[in-house]
Amino acid sequence: MIKKTTWLAGVVLLASGGAAVAENIPGYDRVSGRAHASRSEVIATHGMAATSQPLATQIALDILKAGGSAVDAAIAANAALGLMEPTGSGIGGDLFAIVWDANNKELVGLNASGRAPAMMTLDYFRERGLTSIPPFGPLPVSVPGTVDGWFELHARYGRLPMEDLLAPAIAYARDGFPVSEVIAYYFDINAKRIGEYPGFAATYMPHGHTPRKGELFRNPRLADTLQQIATDGRDAFYKGDIAKRIDAYMTENGGLLRYEDLAAHSSEWVTPVSTNYRGWDVYELPPNGQGIAALQLLNILEGYDIAAMGFDSAEYVHTFVEAKKLVFEDRAKYYVDMDFVDVPVETLISKDYADSRRKLISSTKAAQSLAAGDLKLRDGDTIYMTIADSDGNMVSLIQSNYRGMGSGMTPGDLGFVLQNRAELFALDENHANVLEPGKRPFHTIIPAFVMKDGKPLMSFGLMGGAMQPQGHAQIIINMIDFGMNLQEAGDAARINHIGSSQPTGTTMIDGGVVHLEKGFSQETRDALEKLGHTIGDSNGSFGGYQAILWDEEAGVYYGASEVRKDGQAAGY
């Protein structure tokens, strides 16, 4: 621990010109050296798993101990989370991953997001007088990509049979698991908004109500579905009995997703893109996701002495929020499926572009409206986890239904809800993110990775809609500029600005709202209001964080997990 704290302090000294930044943080404890951490980092030598559910973390460790790879453990944990945390994940949703391949010494990305069904056309919605795609029900359902993502990852990096990886989730689905307070709370919220859709109550409310804190919840329907996938492979889901049952259910209930859409699906291996922030190479996946927003944000903020501003200061929060507003205008205009539009990614994440955008930030006034950069386009709730194994492989994986439990559409007796990602298409034919059959919608879920001097350093992520790129940037800033360790960087109070322009076509109104967690002082809040910011409450959505850091010198992994949810990091 002492070695790691010293190493991080060295990074801060380099970044801040020698100032002892950490000791200037309000509440800094000179004895423990930690101002914001709720608990110690977890440290282990052979492997590390950090997920949002302790039972899923234990499953991941069991897989690692049985000789499985980091990817094997991630698949097993993800399957379990679809059962234990269906309020944010499941096989009806999409998946993205970044993998450090220790054998080939390369960083690779997987985009396992699904596309719009062939029947999902602009004319379909226009004929029905709709100006936006509904958030719930049969219409926003796009092809679920998670299962194909598992098999793509497994074919390339798996060691154990898929039957072994899905066995723990199948067993828990049959025998039951005790529901935590957090998940019981989100179960109830989701049931109130989507509980009336066919199949939902039979699957998730077998006793007339959603599972309560401490109750054993069983999902034998999901157990049967996972067993079929384990036995017959990915084609069982996309071309076999499961696909046929999804088709029949969607046809019966007025949906647009069909067997042919499932059968045509495939994931895509992609190359992660990066920027350097004060010596750390931060990697994200290119669009259709929003990962490059974190890179744009870091590029703009690198031009400021963030360390000198101090963590709990109006100057820091104001600068961060104003940079975020600029980036999200670009996000709303340019972040789309690159199979349909030639997105200028290299320009968007360049230092020169950041320099030009930074000039638009006023130090004395909050912007109420902004425009995206003038670049040319050529047509053309969520869970996060990270796992590392004894061979040095690391996986950063994020998976989601969207809007918690998704569309509410729960096909037949399959035991899962279909996602509602197609809601994020625009219905404006002049918008780059306009709905088209076969197109992938704008996506919010993003994994992240950090390299330093060409070597793997950290696998991390922070789920939660538009909070994600803001959270990614804050984690990096907390560690580099404010000297926090891996756990403290996630525990520290967060900033969440909402109300920016959106990829669906809505625009920022009156500067949006700045939500600050309780770790920011009233003095800071008052100063922000004087600058023209509207301050929201401290109980908004601030995401869920997991991270693993590799200390090559000591030969150990550091793990950290989210205190706002049920997260657990554990190693062996």
By annotation, the residues acting in catalysis are: 382
Q: How many CA atoms lie within 13 A of 438 on its CB side?
A: 5
Q: How far apart are CA 395 and CA 457, in angstroms?
A: 12
> Pairing mode, if any, of strands 568-571 and 42-44?
unpaired
Radius of gyration for the alpha carbons in the chain, expressed in angstroms and rounded: 22
Query: Please, which residues have CB within 8 angstroms of residue 312's CB and are 6 or more apart in sequence?
Result: 25, 26, 493, 519, 520, 521, 524
DSSP string, 311-348: SS-HHHHHHHHHHHHHHHHHHHHH-S-TTTEE--HHHH
Residue 529 CB-density burial (10 A; 0-12 exposed, 13-18 middle, 19+ buried): middle
Query: Please, which residues have CB within 8 angstroms of residue 522's CB and are 6 or more apart in sequence?
Result: none
Q: Can you give 153-206 as a three-state secondary structure string?
A: HHHHHCCCCHHHHHHHHHHHHHHCEECCHHHHHHHHHHHHHHCCCCCHHHHHCC
Are the C-beta atoms of residues 4 and 483 closer than 8 Å to each other?
A: no
Q: How far apart are CA 335 and CA 4, in angstroms?
A: 37
Q: How far apart are CA 129 and CA 184, in angstroms?
A: 37
Are the C-beta atoms of residues 64 and 370 closer than 8 Å to each other?
A: no
7: number of Cβ within 10 Å = 13
Crossing angle of the two packed helices 162-175 and 70-84, in degrees rounded to 10: 20
H/E segment holding residue 556: strand 556-561
Are the C-beta atoms of residues 351 and 299 closer than 8 Å to each other?
A: yes
